[in-house]
Amino acid sequence: MVRFRFAAILCLAGLGCLIATSAPGPQKLTSFDSRANALLAKMTLDEKVGQMTQPDQLYLKSDADIANYYLGSVLSGADSDPKEGNSLEAWANLIDRYQKRSLETRLAIPLLYGVDAVHGHNNILGAVVFPHNIGLGATRNPALIEKIARITALEVRATGINWGFAPCVTVPRDIRWGRTYEGYAEEPDGVKELGAAAVRGLQGAGLADPLSILGCAKHYAGDGGTAYGSSTIGPHLLDRGDTRLDEKTLRQIHLQGYLTTIRAGVGSIMPSYSSWNGLKMSGNKRLLTEVLKEELGFEGFLISDFAAIDELPGDYKHKIAMSINAGMDMVMVPERYQEFIARLKEAAQDGTVPMARIDDAVRRILRVKIAMGLMDQNHGQLADRQLWKQFGSAEHRAVARDAVRQSLVLLKNEHGTLPLSKSAKRIHVGGKSADDMGNQCGGWTISWQGQSGNAMPGGTTILQAIKKAVPKETKVTFALDGKGAAGADAGVVVIGEKPYAETAGDRSDLSLAPEDVAAVDNMKAAGIPVVVILLSGRPMILDKVLDKADAFVAAWLPGTEGDGVADVLFGAYKPTGKLSFSWPRSMAQVGVHRGDPNYNPLFQYGYGLSW
């Protein structure tokens, strides 16, 4: 409470409140137990099991099922938009409609509605999209990450949603993994502080703050440590694979982000699809219950990953019982919720899952709901439409632009190529990602895997930003393939990866695409200074282009605000970004880290030039 009042005073200063969340620490969730226990005592088994069930709205047979099954939560997976469309209004109407159903139930326990707001409220048209975590890791700036998360929470609240499946505190150890960009850094020291900052931002001055959302640290634990070739899905490389480490090393590398996010008060944690030494995390009692809850004192609740329990052995009832008995509190079903409910009830009735475990799970969920104020009359249950005017606003975009410029890592700058002169007569721009909002935003943007092109309105592509940055006397010409540069004062080529997300993004080879190499070659053939900007979810093998680049910038997946790139190109901002991932010379160096005698990357962890 003290914490809330302290921040509330500072909130009078508008956006300034976004960072005013320093000490004292978050209120203990167990302090809500007397209310949680009183409610629990009134609940039937159906009501308890309902609280533990999370379908995706896409699969709800009818709105009435929210009340029929006393559902505790609903999610929209990354491709699950309202049937009415992907507008702010359609989302707010959908969530309000569902929330009203839950309020009609006997105990009127509101829903937690979850989405993957992982770099802004990225699934909704017109939201501000921030750099993916790999770029934020390069900023090494917790105050900025907290501010970004605060804005994300506001934009999420504008749609009535109250839970974001973020931050991802993975420590990706092998950049061939398609989720590398969801991680802040390849070392735990680059993840710990930033993950906690994101929780402070999302959960705001306290969970009861109607402008905060519930955070979710994921994917516990070792999601980024899987052995190459151990994956259980897709191309069978790394995603959902097996992390083969002794417990001491697992703790040193992969648990660190949980220590700090728990201390920051994170209310939910998502166990990983991956396994630890052959046992899927969804059924891993040692790590879920003994370590996380008993030893680390996590008081919130565990939400499974999307259908993750389906990967456990045995029939459905066995999978459910194994996971709940291991310590899972809520299950992201997401489709067969009626079957899930029937089997979990059966397991509770025949003792396969002890009632004490069911009660513990429900108590944890209720604690969080009560802490969020959801059980208090008219307290943030419905969408706050007053927030719409701030959704995708110029103020929010300004913070994203700042994040972009702080995230850029300057890897090479010969002959003072950068900053570019604004008095150049002509700048020639090329490359497939120069004018492509989709490539700039990457996966988890509008759709799960993301898409090239211009699916996300608002914001500025890098080409548009360059045009805005130069005086009107400077001509900016553009050719996708980089041809036609002769006579220009400088060339800027924007190349890199096309959007992808989990599973599909796993790669065995991180060489640049032939069209990217060709675009750099074509630009260089004109004999002008060439700046290469790489948009990618991870370091890539640069042997075919680095020598031809006079300056080289790693811009990661910057999101909607291309202006931040132009700020650095033209010297309005001196580069400050430092690599949070080692940059290998060749594929042979992938997965080799600081401390290894063979560590000899092209650019070391922490590298980054300025001028």
Q: Enumerate binding residues for ligand BGC (CB under 6 A).
A: 77-78, 116, 165, 218, 305-306, 502
- Helices and strands, counts by H and E, the chain: 19, 17
Nearer to ligand BGC, 192 or 218 (CB): 218
Cα R_g (the chain), whole angstroms: 24
- Check residue 523 and report its DSSP letter: H
How distant is the alpha carbon of residue 52 from its chain centre?
Answer: 24
How distant is the alpha carbon of residue 436 from its chain centre?
Answer: 21
Please state, in angstroms and as integers, the Cα–Cα distance from residue 450 to each residue in 167, 223, 445, following that order. 19, 21, 5
Nearest approach, Cβ of residue 418 and ligand BGC (Å): 36
Nearer to ligand BGC, 505 or 558 (CB): 505
Nearest approach, Cβ of residue 78 and ligand BGC (Å): 5
CA pair distance 216, 266, nearest whole angstrom: 6
Nearer to ligand BGC, 264 or 281 (CB): 281
Nearest approach, Cβ of residue 305 and ligand BGC (Å): 5
Single-letter amino acid code for the residue at 90:
A
Of 424, 346, 405, which Cα lies nearest the Cα of 46? 346
Nearest approach, Cβ of residue 267 and ligand BGC (Å): 15
Nearer to ligand BGC, 58 or 546 (CB): 58
State phi, psi for 565 to the nearest 5 degrees: -70, -45
Please state, in angstroms and as integers, the Cα–Cα distance from residue 551 to each residue in 6, 606, 611, following that order. 47, 18, 12
Nearest approach, Cβ of residue 329 and ligand BGC (Å): 16
Nearer to ligand BGC, 182 or 563 (CB): 182
Contact between 72 and 365 under an 8 Å Cβ cutoff? The reply is yes
Nearer to ligand BGC, 220 or 570 (CB): 220
Q: Which of 116, 174, 242, 305 is catalytic?
A: 305
CA pair distance 26, 79, nearest whole angstrom: 33
189 is catalytic: no
- Check residue 551 and report its DSSP letter: E
Contact between 565 and 407 under an 8 Å Cβ cutoff? The reply is no
Nearer to ligand BGC, 299 or 305 (CB): 305
In a 10 Å sphere around its CB, with 0-12 CB exposed, 13-18 middle and 19+ buried, how is residue 275 labelled? buried
Secondary structure element (H or E) that encloses residue 495, with its range: strand 490-496
Nearer to ligand BGC, 206 or 215 (CB): 215
Secondary structure element (H or E) that encloses residue 413, with its range: strand 409-413
Nearest approach, Cβ of residue 232 and ligand BGC (Å): 13
Note the helical H segments in 384-501.
Answer: 394-407, 437-441, 462-469
Nearest approach, Cβ of residue 168 and ligand BGC (Å): 7
Structure tokens at 466: 């360059």
Nearest approach, Cβ of residue 123 and ligand BGC (Å): 10
Nearer to ligand BGC, 77 or 110 (CB): 77
CA pair distance 395, 390, nearest whole angstrom: 8
Of 130, 128, 147, which Cα lies nearest the Cα of 15? 147
Note the helical H segments in 234-336.
Answer: 247-254, 256-263, 285, 316-326
Contact between 45 and 323 under an 8 Å Cβ cutoff? The reply is no
CA pair distance 578, 562, nearest whole angstrom: 19
Question: Which residues are 553's β-sheet partners?
Answer: 410, 533
Sheet containing strand 112-115, strands side by side: 73-76, 112-115, 163-164
Nearer to ligand BGC, 218 or 397 (CB): 218
Q: At what angle do helices 316-326 and 337-349 cross, to 10 degrees?
A: 70
CA pair distance 237, 226, nearest whole angstrom: 9
Structure tokens at 353: 């899952």
How distant is the alpha carbon of residue 611 from its chain centre?
Answer: 31
Nearer to ligand BGC, 160 or 183 (CB): 183
Where in the sequence numbering do the catalytic residues fall?
Answer: 305
